[in-house]
Structure 1
Amino acid sequence: MTDLAAFAREKGIKYFMISFTDLFGGQRAKLVPAQAIADMAADGAGFAGFATWLDMTPAHPDMLAIPDAEAVIQMPWKPEVAWLPANLVMEDQPVAQGPRNVLRKQIDAAAQAGLRVKTGIEAEFFLLTPEGDRISDPFDTAAKPCYDQQAVMRRYDVVAEICDYMLDLGWNPYQTDHEDANGQFEMNWGFADALVTADRHSFFKFMVKSVAEKHGLRATFMPKPVEGLTGNGCHVHISVWDSDGKTNAFSDSSRELGLSDQGRTFLGGIMKHAEALAAITNPTVNSYKRINAPRTVSGATWAPNTVTWTGNNRTHMVRVPGPGRFELRLPDGAANPYLLQAVIIAAGLSGMHHKADPGPRYDIDMYAEGHTVKDAPRLPLNLLDAIRAFDADGELKSMLGDSFAASYIKLKGQEWNSFVSHFSNWEREHTLDI
């Protein structure tokens, strides 16, 4: 196990940032001097849970964030600080609603079945002005800006700095591009075990925002920050391996698309629970402006609105781009990095347990011919529909943890109520003279 005090001496660390992610994906932290890290590593940093987006009251006892020393990351842009993801504990018991705890529970469930889930994500974000009200690059105006080499080079200083840091961290980044919306970028790095991917995803969002601020910009992973443009997805590539992590249990060259029977049933679980899954993969009011969007300026939303799967075809909720893995295209940039991985594993394990059939494979262009698919469920139209679908899915709630599910539904319900009680300019513009 990593000795954090020794790590600090070796790396020149002055401070550790003990960090956890709350139910809404907010990253919370305490800055701890290196000389105090030994005590914090043993006992945890104390937090008042009610002060974050967790289902607690001011009367709850101290919540302790116990750092995972094996996951420590020295911050490349501020190397005297190290970031430490933490597991939440209260009165010597894991906090059931803590997102990292929820994921660890699913990883343990997969391990009991002799399986290791490995994932990679495609993280998309916009670079905006500091006020967040417009795209930062005034020359980024093309109708089809995807892969625009001039536009990516105008933001070279930002994206190259981030990529350099990922190289230094050993994440194996392999491509960066200007995405389908003006001002939008995507960065990809190597796949890994689900917890490693979740920690890196969480740190990546922190790093991108920090580097953008350093350059006088504002980065956002908001699902649909600019009306009429393609939104921020967070596509997840999923494979399941034997416990040794060396044999891909999803791969079978003799089966359709190279996806094994186990892989098909895991996919079947994703399809079965898709409507409920959306409450976690698409967790904000704004999320449903991405998956239910009209055609964008570029000509496509690149987001699903129907529960369908296919081969190498990006117009469906799930595509199988090659043997032994599949891509879930439903999640967006607001997804909690830990809950995203957890709900995928839970749904997949449910499918394997029930030998779920993923249903028919469609090879059509869903954007042009989706209206011809009559028997596939539609994804929720808004956050309230998604919350209700999740609440109605007793099995998925049980697998994730009934205590977690109750807290998540409660807080997300409050978020929806806050939204619908808000008076918008649209209402005034369209109903003031009635």
Structure 2
Amino acid sequence: MLYTQDEVLEYVKEEDVKFVRLAYFDLSGKQKNATIMASELPRAFEKGISFDASAIPDFEEANKSDLFLYPDPSTLSVLPWRPSAGKVIRMFCDIKYPDGSPYKKDCRYLLKTAAAKIKAECGVDLQFGTEFEFYLFKLDENGEPTKIPFDKAGYMDIAPEDKGENIRRNICFTLEQMGITPESSHHEEGPGQNEVDFHYSDSLTSADNASTFKWIVRTKAAESGLYADFSPKPIQEKPGSGMHINISCSDPSKNENILAGILKHIEEITYYLNPTENSYNRLGEAKAPHFICWGRENRSAIVRLPAGEKTRIEIRTPDPTCNPYIAFTLLIHAAIDGIKSNLRAAEAATENLFDKEVAKKVSYKTIPDTLEEAREIAEKSDFVKSILG
């Protein structure tokens, strides 16, 4: 349900809400929040709640550090694991300067601006869906994470081998209570590795849901005495974890333009889709392609058109450490370029590019091999600068 400001205030009064978490994100996509008493909510809506931006990496310096959080009423969620008496709710916030103008480094603002731009200039809407993979590890006697997987199950195994079944169930129930409906879940290939997939939503809702999901997974894993690891390659010899991004356009005739735009810019934006050194230990292995090409059903291509799908484009390189707001923003702008420039994709790749002998014979370009290389390419990119500054 999408609440208005008045409806939120009425809800707070009628449902015994005592605490309000005002959530926002730093540039890496890490969620931050300030908690206020419910009685302060009218002031938050009207004047915002100030915070020290100089304490957030890469936000502002100390001499201009005051920024303000304005809650977005449409994002209201109750935290179902908190007491029902004296409820706790959470809303995502818009970040603004003291004069009320949007803060240019607010990643939710960047995404909203991109979504409005593709609608205004290209006449289309893009819907996003995510597929998250993560590992569950045991804790040691001091409660610190280990690299001992929670189970030894494999792809789509069932209990008792799959010990994560009840945790995934608990995660999905919690998300549903918060108004987020997962599409499916199952055990993945790696020991202790799990996957949860999400239905399509508009770009901002999808990014909000992705961020909420990671928070809920970590919370529910901790409640079960486990550690949820979203790093791309937590165990060197085992499968890595990705965050596949699915895009669907309201006008399927633009799909080839969008696909071509993404392939044109994928090298420049890899730094934001794969933002850690660990990311590059995953890329190039099974299920994590690195050749810049597309294919029908071909999981070894960076962009895939799944079988039986007429509208879905799947980007297979991103991993869960990326900031979904920034990732979606850059992908939308790549789609805009593809549509406005009427870009056309090359022929579909049909080879199995995970086969090392086959890979030696192809001439496709590849995405960067290291974080440093990806950073250098991004820093030189006029495309990236025009979007992120």
Instruction: Show the counterpart of 2:147.
Output: 134
Distance across 1 between alignment mates of 2:161 and 2:50: 42
Give the AA of the match of 1:181: G
Contact 2:152 2:161 in 1 (8 A): no
- The 1:175–1:31 alpha-carbon spacing in structure 2 relative to 1, beyond 3 Å, is same
Distance across 2 between alignment mates of 1:211 and 1:102: 30
Contact 2:158 2:165 in 1 (8 A): no
Instruction: Show the counterpart of 1:38.
Output: 42
- The 1:220–1:151 alpha-carbon spacing in structure 2 relative to 1, beyond 3 Å, is farther
Distance across 2 between alignment mates of 1:55 and 1:306: 34
Distance across 1 between alignment mates of 2:106 and 2:370: 25
SS in 1 for 2:44: helix
Contact 2:292 2:367 in 1 (8 A): yes
More helix by percentage: 1
Alignment of 1:380-391 (within 5 A): 380-391=368-379
Count of residue correspondences: 372
Gaps of 5+ in 1: 242-248, 251-259, 294-300, 403-434
In the TM superposition, what is the alpha-carbon distance from 1:396 to its structure 2 partner?
3.4
Distance across 1 between alignment mates of 2:16 and 2:162: 34
In the TM superposition, what is the alpha-carbon distance from 1:76 to its structure 2 partner?
2.2
SS in 2 for 1:86: strand
Q: In the alignment, is residue 237 of structure 1 matched against residue 250 of structure 2?
A: no
- The 1:28–1:358 alpha-carbon spacing in structure 2 relative to 1, beyond 3 Å, is same
Q: In the alignment, is residue 104 of structure 1 matched against residue 112 of structure 2?
A: yes
One of 367, 373, 396 as aligned partner of 2:384: 396
Instruction: Show the counterpart of 1:310.
Output: 295
Give the AA of the match of 1:2: Q
Give the AA of the match of 1:84: M
Distance across 1 between alignment mates of 2:346 and 2:42: 53
Instruction: Show the counterpart of 2:68.
Output: 64
Contact 1:152 1:178 in 2 (8 A): no
Q: In the alignment, is residue 81 of structure 1 matched against residue 107 of structure 2?
A: no
One of 359, 370, 373 as aligned partner of 1:370: 359
- The 1:112–1:57 alpha-carbon spacing in structure 2 relative to 1, beyond 3 Å, is same
Q: Deviations over 1:122-179 (max 9, x none)?
A: 0111111232222342xx335xx11121367422331111111233344332311111
- The 1:31–1:317 alpha-carbon spacing in structure 2 relative to 1, beyond 3 Å, is same
SS in 2 for 1:128: strand
Distance across 2 between alignment mates of 1:37 and 1:44: 9
One of 131, 141, 162 as aligned partner of 1:122: 131
Give the AA of the match of 1:345: I
Contact 2:45 2:71 in 1 (8 A): yes
Distance across 2 between alignment mates of 1:39 and 1:98: 21
- Computed over aligned residues only, the root mean square deviation of the Cα atoms, in angstroms, reads 1.6
Q: In the alignment, is residue 271 of structure 1 matched against residue 263 of structure 2?
A: yes
Instruction: Show the counterpart of 2:335.
Output: 348
SS in 1 for 2:318: coil
Q: Deviations over 1:361-388 (max 9, x none)?
A: 11121111222221x2111011111111
Q: In the alignment, is residue 2 of structure 1 matched against residue 15 of structure 2?
A: no
Give the AA of the match of 1:141: K
Instruction: Show the counterpart of 2:24.
Output: 20
Instruction: Show the counterpart of 1:424.
Output: none
Give the AA of the match of 2:375: I
More strand by percentage: 2
Distance across 1 between alignment mates of 2:32 and 2:65: 18
Contact 1:212 1:219 in 2 (8 A): yes
Q: Deviations over 1:42-66 (max 9, x none)?
A: 2222221221223422222311121
Gaps of 5+ in 2: none
Q: In the alignment, is residue 192 of structure 1 matched against residue 201 of structure 2?
A: yes
SS in 2 for 1:149: coil
Distance across 1 between alignment mates of 2:31 and 2:231: 15
Give the AA of the match of 1:52: I
Q: In the alignment, is residue 328 of structure 1 matched against residue 337 of structure 2?
A: no
In the TM superposition, what is the alpha-carbon distance from 1:21 to its structure 2 partner?
0.9
